[in-house]
Structure 1
Amino acid sequence: MASPKHLVLDPNDTRPPTIGHPSAFPSERPNAKATKTHPSKAGNENASIYFVGTATTIMEWEGIRIMTDPNFLHNGDHVHLGPGVGSVRRTNPAVDLDKLPRIDAVLLSHYHGDHFDQKVEASLRRDLPIITTPHARSALTSKGPESFTAVYDLAPFQEMNVDIKGDADMRKRPSLRVTGTPGKHVPPTKPPDELKELFHAVPPTNGWMLEFGYTTDNGTFASGYCIYITGDTLLVDEVKEIPQRFPDKHIDLMLAHLGGTTLPSPSAPVTVMVTMDAKQGVELMRCIRPDVTLPIHNDDYEVFVSSLEDFRNEVEQAGLQGGVVYLDRGEEYRFRVKG
């Protein structure tokens, strides 16, 4: 494995995440409509995940905020998903883009309109750190004067260290470790002739193993909480191999991108499913065996055809309901990073 890439985040950096005057932006995110915790092991939580909508979340710990897959379109807005393919959003985000609080970095699973929409692309500060795929890095840094300037790419199983700036005499410093994980946004089969162009246009995608922990003076990282973010993927063999690639990794939480996204549209004569549906989501739970699963990315666009209720039913039939927490947009899940 290549040497890990490295990023340092400063919790005292007060610059807004989007282009504009700092006074126009709040320093804190909106209060959560509801707070949820581990179904059976709650207590002493020191970190949180705020669900904005689609695959967009804001994670907070040790004074920094990480945003995943920023999508801030509104009900009725159109998104481009491929050659001649689009969808209309049917929900609103929990917070508007122009009211977004300070964000320290973005974790972007792939360069697709429902994960990095046109308004986000036009508005984000150009030097905001973005961790993403090689494909997305190439796209984001190839826009001439409008290019993003702090983009880091990770291939599957490549690591990146993210330190949180603190007092110089700290014997251990808060840190994050980000590892790319495989994802397959199109079926691993030969596409029908009618969909060949679409297959080639769907961008490569990553999942992530995101670990919160501490790094000691000698450079040793100790994980205190591990989140597996699936990204937009189907349940392919590469994903099923994740437990073998991380045999000693305890997964505290899984953010599962679901929805059974169907392109070019659910009503088209020839279609293809490009994200997990409810059945695949439950099968992945059995494979990964996380303590808790948070289902996201399931009802925000017309191309999502596998509902959250479908997933809830599959979970109950499998007897796994004790390991799932359901968040509505604007709600948060709080957890504890050990250390």
Structure 2
Amino acid sequence: MTQQAERQTTTRRTRTRQGPGQGPGPLVPPRPPGGARRWPRSFADRLTAPLPGLRAFARFAREGALRPGPEGLADIRRLPYEPGPLPRVDHRTVAVTWAGHASWVVRIGGLTVLTDPVWSRKILGTPARVTPVGVAWSALPRVDAVVISHNHYDHLDAPTLRRLPRDTPVLVPAGLGRWFTRRRFSRVTELDWWEGAEVDGVRFDFVPAHHWSKRSLLDTCRTLWGGWVMTDAQGQRVYFAGDTGYGHWFERIGDRYPGIDLALLPIGAYDPRWWLSDVHCDPEEAVRAAVDLGARRMAPMHWGTFLLSAEPVLEPLTRVRAAWERTGRPREDLWDLPVGASRVLDRSSAAAG
């Protein structure tokens, strides 16, 4: 970790800086269509570890593996896939449905929210998905908001986003708003870490992650990356981590947003560790992150959809179950859902939490 990771870049709009445990950050007021914030040219000072250099790439060329070998692929037909209807909800109900990878249908505060929506069969530079999308696009209710964690192709998918009405509220990391306004989205909110915005009574706070951004040859770290805390009027909270390695941010997020009812945490794309440990949690680290957050429940994601790294396809699931069992926490609080499955948060147990 570096001191640079703690820096807060100054923007033209003055905002309050808050330390750990001081509660959510300031709400960012709505902006008219076309209204833009001024961001730094680079967010490289937010990195928590250096990006791979030439030596690392040379080592990866010698010994690295991008995909599982034949033995690791043997269980591909056993990947859990159980699509079902979306649960019925009201404005006090929180429900989540895993569409695959980092794409969730989150029902909270009467809203339908999509996280990092990727409904495409294939994304740039990656083999086609090994499990179909768990929710048909035609089965979705009206989408009330979209949150994006960062701009990598497996989290920001242009063909999927083209399906949305252009007045859909979209909440994005600092610097990424222009990508959406160029595509005629009219309700785009860019946030820095620890800032929040509201959509129809649900609060969305953008929080740090151990990751990076890049979409082309010349835009490394030009936009920010992070996760989202969603809080409804009843105080029910869902944390969506996006893409992240393990690190000190989880405790800080838990301090600022106590009582997280459900943490959606990535458990895949972690092998080889020397290459990926700074930016992707392994299953044991994801469970540790849930504990650091103080989250009551954890739902694994970012595995079993796109083959992005070398671990066997079912290994993330078996390892996260074992790691959860070692914590001694109730088995029912690990929501290890098949792609397409849903779970509804019990309000009484959430309140008692």
- TM-score normalised by L of structure 2: 0.65
The answer to whether the 8 Å contact 2:117/2:161 transfers is no
What is aligned with 2:250?
239
**CA separation in 2, counterparts of 1:299 and 1:52?**
11
1:31 is the counterpart of 2:85? yes
One-letter amino acid of the counterpart of residue 283, structure 2:
A
**CA separation in 1, counterparts of 2:145 and 2:212?**
28
What is aligned with 2:207?
181
Q: Among 205, 225, 231, which residue is 2:236 paired with?
A: 225
Q: Among 110, 117, 122, which residue is 2:150 paired with?
A: 110
What is aligned with 1:300?
305
1:280 is the counterpart of 2:290? no
What is the deviation of 1:234? 0.7
Secondary structure of the corresponding residue to residue 224 of structure 1:
coil
What is aligned with 1:317?
326
The answer to whether the 8 Å contact 2:254/2:260 transfers is no
What is the deviation of 1:86? 3.6
One-letter amino acid of the counterpart of residue 294, structure 2:
R
Number of aligned pairs? Answer: 263
**CA separation in 2, counterparts of 1:291 and 1:324?**
9
1:66 is the counterpart of 2:89? no
What is aligned with 1:209?
229
One-letter amino acid of the counterpart of residue 186, structure 2:
T
What is the deviation of 1:284? 0.8
The answer to whether the 8 Å contact 2:206/2:227 transfers is yes
> Alpha-carbon deviations, 1:233-264, whole Å to 9, x = none?
11122333223344xx21111111221345xx
What is aligned with 1:250?
259
What is aligned with 1:4?
27
| Change beyond 3 A, Cα 1:186–1:87 | farther
- Percent sequence identity is 23
The answer to whether the 8 Å contact 1:224/1:337 transfers is no
Unaligned runs of 5+ residues in structure 2 are 1-14, 17-25, 31-82
One-letter amino acid of the counterpart of residue 164, structure 2:
L
One-letter amino acid of the counterpart of residue 107, structure 1:
V
RMSD: 3.3
**CA separation in 2, counterparts of 1:62 and 1:204?**
27
The answer to whether the 8 Å contact 2:177/2:190 transfers is yes
1:147 is the counterpart of 2:184? yes
What is the deviation of 1:4? 1.5
Secondary structure of the corresponding residue to residue 255 of structure 1:
strand
Unaligned runs of 5+ residues in structure 1 are 8-28, 36-44, 164-174, 188-196, 214-222
What is the deviation of 1:225? 0.5
The answer to whether the 8 Å contact 1:69/1:106 transfers is yes
What is the deviation of 1:330? 1.9
> Alpha-carbon deviations, 1:245-302, whole Å to 9, x = none?
44xx21111111221345xxx69xx833432111111211221121111111221111
**CA separation in 2, counterparts of 1:313 and 1:116?**
31
The answer to whether the 8 Å contact 2:267/2:283 transfers is yes
| Change beyond 3 A, Cα 1:128–1:87 | same
Query: Is the helix fraction higher in 1 or 2?
Result: 2
What is the deviation of 1:226? 1.2
Within-5 A mapping of 1:117-128: 117-128=157-168
| Change beyond 3 A, Cα 1:261–1:186 | farther
| Change beyond 3 A, Cα 1:114–1:254 | same
> Alpha-carbon deviations, 1:40-99, whole Å to 9, x = none?
xxxxx733112211111112245431111101123xx2x23xxxx544421111123355
One-letter amino acid of the counterpart of residue 47, structure 1:
V
One-letter amino acid of the counterpart of residue 138, structure 1:
R
| Change beyond 3 A, Cα 1:207–1:251 | same
1:91 is the counterpart of 2:101? no
**CA separation in 1, counterparts of 2:261 and 2:269?**
24
Secondary structure of the corresponding residue to residue 113 of structure 2:
strand
What is aligned with 1:38?
none
**CA separation in 1, counterparts of 2:306 and 2:254?**
31
- TM-score normalised by L of structure 1: 0.68
Tell me which moved more, 127-136 or 53-62: 53-62
